[in-house]
């Protein structure tokens, strides 16, 4: 299920890369939703605008999460980020395995194996190793971006708990904010390590 989700997110990012006008609309819509949600939250708390608490608690979290997701997709379309699940890796490795079967069959059928077939077999194994390493680096990068986004959403959730509740709960806000900051820190560390590995 995770692989399918990552592949779907990757397809969305690739389609936004190919359609710059739609990409700009998605980013503008996400920023507008975030601005509208912030304006509603401020007007509810500061100006005592009569928005029922139940309505606010049911509307704000899905709006914020969907806007952050849309903003992530739009901004990722400007970068070289490629999100792929395990499905793409399996397809890449399957073609390498089929090629290896053909080479080993050719080596088994020939009484005196050709040196080029042996070199091709070694290159095939090296290509498989490179594909797996590249996929692991890609997955680590994707996880780090995901952790940063989850940390940001958790931090915003902590702020939301404090400002939009009728009775603010400081301890719950502190725990949520610390969890969000720690998640972002972990995502940033993985991001830095993955970038360093990809550069070297």
Rounded mean pLDDT for each run of 10 residues along the chain, 200 residues in total: 65 78 86 81 65 61 79 78 58 78 82 79 84 75 78 80 72 80 82 67
For the chain, domain boundaries: 1-83
**8-state DSSP, 51:** -
pTM: 0.49
Contact yes or no for 152/174 (Cβ under 8 A): no
pLDDT for res 181: 84
Contacts of residue 33, Cβ cutoff 8 Å, sequence gap at least 6: 63, 64, 66, 67, 70
Any idea of the CA torsion for 40, 45, 46, 51, to the nearest 10 degrees?
Answer: 60
Nearest to 3 by CA among 142, 133, 196: 142
Structure confidence at residue 91 (pLDDT): 65
Give the DSSP letter of residue 58: H
Spatial neighbors of 142 by CB under 8 A, at least 6 apart, are 6, 81, 83
């Amino acid at each position: 299920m995770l692989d399918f989700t990552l592949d779907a997110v990757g397809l969305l990012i690739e389609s936004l890369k190919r359609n710059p006008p739609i990409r700009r609309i998605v980013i503008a819509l996400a920023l507008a939703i975030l601005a509208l949600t912030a304006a509603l939250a401020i007007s509810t708390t500061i100006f005592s605008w009569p928005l029922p608490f139940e309505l606010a608690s049911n509307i704000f979290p899905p709006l914020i999460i969907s806007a952050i997701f849309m903003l992530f997709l739009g901004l990722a379309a400007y970068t070289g980020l490629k999100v792929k699940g395990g499905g793409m890796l399996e397809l890449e490795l399957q073609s390498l395995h089929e090629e290896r079967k053909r080479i080993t069959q050719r080596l088994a059928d020939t009484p005196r194996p050709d040196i080029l077939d042996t070199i091709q077999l070694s290159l095939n194994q090296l290509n498989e190793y490179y594909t797996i390493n590249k996929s692991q680096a890609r997955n680590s990068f994707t996880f780090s971006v995901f952790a940063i986004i989850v940390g940001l959403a958790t931090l915003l959730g902590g702020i939301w708990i404090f400002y939009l509740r009728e009775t603010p709960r400081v301890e719950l806000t502190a725990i949520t904010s610390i969890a969000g900051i720690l998640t972002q820190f972990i995502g940033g560390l993985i991001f830095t390590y993955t970038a360093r590995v990809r550069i070297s």
